Amino acid sequence: MSLIVFWQIEKPPGFESAPNAGSPLCGKVEKGYPSKILGEGRSRVDARGVAVWGDSKVLLRCGVELPKPCPVSDLRQAG
């Protein structure tokens, strides 16, 4: 199973492909990457499963490892 993660930061950690970027699901997702996000145009990146918009402020990496579930006892309600 693959996970898609979006984040917006000042300087991305890099444009490396995620461990599962070559999965068939990521191949399907890549075909649907939008040309703009938050009004920012998409930049060309040579890493599989990676897309970048807006001068590298928005980075999408398909195929990252799923986080390990935490025990319910570790969850706390906010508020």
Confidence band of 23 (pLDDT split at 50, 70, 90): very high
What per-residue confidence (pLDDT) applies to 41?
93
Q: In what order do the strands lie in the sheet with 40-43?
A: 3-8, 58-64, 50-53, 40-43, 36-37
Q: What is the dihedral of CA 1, 61, 49, 56, to 10 degrees?
A: 170
| CA angle at 3 for the pair 59 and 63, rounded to the nearest 5° | 70
What per-residue confidence (pLDDT) applies to 35?
92
Kindly tell me if the per-residue pLDDT of 1 is higher than 60: no
Model-level pTM? 0.62
